[in-house]
Amino acid sequence: MPNPGNGTMLFRDVMLHNAHNLNPDVVPRNDWELLELSSERMKGTLDEIYAHLDKKYAQAIKTHGAEGVVQSSADMLNQRVEPTGIKPRPGEVSKYIHVRPIPDSKYSIRLFPGSISAAEYCMDFVDSKTGEPVNSPFEYELWAVPDPETPWLGMPVCH
């Protein structure tokens, strides 16, 4: 088996994070439900949500067979992936997360790891008091300044 690399994590952990963010009150009862809960925000009471999941699960089993649904869900979740752009939770502390306040502003800039194999860092704006990410404040612009020694090398810029 090839070395998965330092920046990889279990896909299951990524999906648990997503499922909790999208559906914090719903506990997945199996791997298939974890995949469902991590892909969309469910509406309704817990009973209604579980009834909806039961109906979709029954349809998946009818189409692909119980063993196929169980095995494919487990296989998918047990893979190692290298995600990028997963924002740290407010208050999360790590030597790899850097937060710097913007002078005379209620915002800070936060840098956090992206893809380690791509030597990538991600950036966002956060509320300095709460640590909650915010949409890019319109009064700020991001500029990419090329290295004067190699101006022909492009720089990716997000708008």
Sorted by where each begins, the domain ranges of the chain are 9-81, 84-159
CA 37 to chain centre: 14
Neighbours of 88 (CB within 10 A): 19
> Is the pTM here over 0.75, yes or no?
no
Could you tell me if 11 and 81 are in contact, meaning their C-beta atoms sit under 8 angstroms apart? Answer: yes
Query: How does pLDDT run across 81-132, given as a tens digit for each residue?
Result: 988 878 887 778 888 899 999 999 999 999 988 887 777 888 899 999 998 8
Q: Which residues pair with 125 in a beta bridge?
A: 109, 134
In 47-79, which positions are buried (b, 16+ CB within 10 angstroms) versus exposed (e)? eebbeebeeebeebeeeeeeeebeebbeebbee
What is residue 119's predicted lDDT score, i.e. its pLDDT?
78
* CA distances in angstroms from 105 to 76, 87, 119, 131, 158, listed in the order given: 43, 21, 30, 14, 22
Please, what sign has the CA dihedral across residues 59, 63, 65, 71?
negative
Q: In the structure, what pLDDT confidence band is assigned to residue 159 with cuts at 50, 70 and 90?
A: very low
Distance CA 41, CA 19 (A): 8
Query: How does pLDDT run across 33-87, given as a tens digit for each residue?
Result: 999 999 999 999 999 999 999 999 999 999 999 999 999 999 999 999 988 878 8
Could you tell me if 110 and 126 are in contact, meaning their C-beta atoms sit under 8 angstroms apart? Answer: yes
- Quick one: 94 exposed, middle or buried, by C-beta within 10 A (0-12, 13-18, 19+)? exposed
Q: What angle do CA 17, 54, 25 make, to 5 degrees?
A: 35
